Amino acid sequence: MWRKDIMIVLGINGSPRHQGNSSFLMSLFMEEMKKKGHETEVLSAVRLKINPCIGCGHCETKGVCIFDDDFTRIFLPAVIKADILVLSSPVYFYAFPAALKALIDRIQVLWSRKYRLELNEFKGRSRKGVLLAVGATRGKDLFDGLKLTARYFFDAACISYAGDLCYRGIDEKGELEKHPSVHEDVKHLVEDLIQ
């Protein structure tokens, strides 16, 4: 039976590594959401066949992208439908990996609808975005690039940046599973999101 308080939670896994630390973090988050009765879906950025944005400006006048690929057929409809959007990613040179960054760049179509064409397609909806990130080094600025990019990606899609979990010094596959607080961190984040 459908309940109106059920949220659609979309996860975008940005890691090229199969079943790595980012995937583990996403799976923990989604399991908590499922326990709360919400609908979940996870898309893998590296498995989607997409073209990079070419800056042609078509979406700024027409509100649609010129490319017909997995972005327009799979990714964009899922983003529009989602109530909560979760990005999970490792850090590559202080940024998102290429496949995920290509998806983020293509969200220009929603930016154009919102800011150029002044369409209000998300009126009355309160949507939230979360960043889950893992990095091998321990620099204090390690996650700054990801946080800024995620914030503007969410803004283009009319999603408010609602929080993040970022773990430094995690490199080897399976290492995050041994982190002493990761399970509790995810539980608290989910609780904060759904209140």
pLDDT, tens digit (0-9, with 9 covering 90-100), for 1-39 = 344 588 999 999 999 888 889 999 999 999 999 999 999
Taking the CA atoms of 60, 64, 70 and 76 in sequence, report the sign of the dihedral they define.
positive
Mean pLDDT along residues 79-98? 96
In a domain, 55, yes or no: yes
Count: domains in the chain: 1
| Cβ neighbours of residue 115 closer than 8 Å, sequence gap 6 or more | none
Q: Is position 137 within any domain?
A: yes
**Percent of the chain with pLDDT strictly greater than 90:** 84
pLDDT at 2: 41
Give the phi and the psi of residue 144 in degrees, each rounded to 5.
Answer: -60, -45
- Longest CA pairwise span in the chain (Å): 50
195 lies in some domain? no
Beta bridge partners of residue 11, listed in sequence order: 42, 86
Q: How far is CA 182 from CA 144, 166, 187, in A?
A: 20, 10, 9
Examine residue 1 and state whether it is found in any structural domain, yes or no: no
64 domain residue, yes or no: yes
Apex 147 CA angle, 85 and 43, nearest 5 = 30
Residue 3 domain-assigned (yes or no): no
C-alpha span between 183 and 3 (Å, rounded): 27
Q: pLDDT tens for residues 119-140? A: 989 998 999 999 999 999 998 9
Q: Which domain holds residue 37?
A: 8-190
CATH code of 125's domain? 3.40.50.360
CA distances from 122 to 79, 106, 172, 177 (A): 11, 18, 40, 37
For the cut 50, the answer to whether the pLDDT of residue 91 exceeds it is yes
Per residue in 181-191, pLDDT (tens digit) is 999 999 999 99
Distance between CA 191 and CA 185 in Å, rounded? 10
Q: Is 83 a member of any domain?
A: yes
